[in-house]
Chains A and B, each alone.
Chain A
Amino acid sequence: MKHLMPSLRSKKRYLAFELFSEEPVNRGELVRDVISSASALLGDVLASECDIHVLGFEAGKGIIQCSHSKVTETRAALAAITRVNRLRATLHVLGVSGTIKRATEKYLNDDAGFEPNLKAIEE
């Protein structure tokens, strides 16, 4: 099938994010809980309009794609995540950008990562 012309493709926004969870989780587990949270909070109709996709997730950071007109709804759905793979978690959107490249460069490439001291929870 012929590709859609660029001018006809839906416009997107890319959300760079970081996830703090009790134990490391993988992309598959995160995807499941992102979609389930969006579906529960927004309903299936609005969630489909948001066009949410987890594009990449590695070492607690990643990029989520959404429709350019539904950034607020997507942020809310991401904020509504309380658990990933039954482990307590909180998702923090670092920034929003129009291209994957810019989102990665601007928000994910700084080495000064934040390491919260969460040891007390496991005790």
Chain B
Amino acid sequence: MGNRKFYDFCVHAVPDGDNSVEELASLARHFGYAGFALTNHSDKLSQKKPALPSLEGFEIFRGIELVEENPSKLHGLVGKFRKNADVLIVHGGSEKVNRAAVENSSVDILNHPSFEKSSGINQVLAKAAADNEVAIGLNMRPLLHSRGSRRIRLLTDLMANLDLARKYDVQLVLSSDAMSCYDLRSPRELLALAELFGLEESEAVDALSTVPERILARNRPSPGNVREGVEVVEEVDFL
């Protein structure tokens, strides 16, 4: 574990969720997170862009979870929101939307892919997700708030997607998908749940730390960044 920084990459605040960003952030910081991404659903955004509060020792990233049934409109929304979002999530749940999401390399994470009798991912989509570096989101809220047959279904889907992710090297992101303060769980608790659900410890840590950091690095290039893969580390005067 050491000095790893953990990030919760799916948190909903008012008007989408129940609590304000400040409340969620102070509890998340208390739980030991280094930061979270505010990802309200795109159909429940407030009119004006909310100002993100600043909290010492805690980072809040601008994110969005796109909800759109029509693939071409979805691609349009991705283009519209990409520039201002550190984290761009697509709320999946149908074959068309899942496919559109994993085939668009501007998308960071696909959440809730499962629908009807399918886990939402197959070998074709898994391969596309790996090629386009779209991560699959493992959201805890639905798993915790359901019991019995519904939770069994959700876990079956999660394990099916986990198998595919391992085979095709798809990245995973572990998040709370919190709609209120009471849906937040500390990093250690999320890791324990993930391990119980079949992830290796290292996979779980990656899904809560390494992969989120990679997504940030991609969307927030460092000042010395020239282009993808080329970075000015140290400037030396020749002559």
Contact = CB atoms under 8 A, between A and B. Distances in A.
A79 B189 contact: yes
A74 to B, nearest CB: 8
What DSSP secondary structure best describes chain B's contact surface?
helix
Interface stretch (A24-32, A103-111, A113-121): A113-121
A75 B189 CA distance: 6
Contacts of A22: 182
B186 A93 contact: yes
Contacts of B26: 116-117
Interface stretch (B48-56, B101-109, B192-200): B192-200
Interface string A69-104: 000110110111010000011111100000000000
A40 interface: yes
B121 interface: no
B144 interface: yes
Contacts of B144: 79-80, 82
B183 A90 contact: yes
Contact of A121 (B31, B180, B184, B192): B180
B23 interface: yes
A78 B188 CA distance: 11
26 contacts: A20-B181, A21-B182, A22-B182, A40-B148, A40-B151, A72-B192, A72-B195, A76-B192, A78-B189, A79-B192, A89-B182, A90-B184, A91-B189, A92-B31, A92-B185, A92-B186, A93-B186, A116-B27, A116-B30, A120-B14, A120-B18, A120-B20, A121-B18, A121-B19, A121-B180, A121-B181
7 closest residue pairs by CB, A with B:
A79-B189, A75-B192, A88-B182, A76-B196, A76-B192, A76-B193, A90-B182
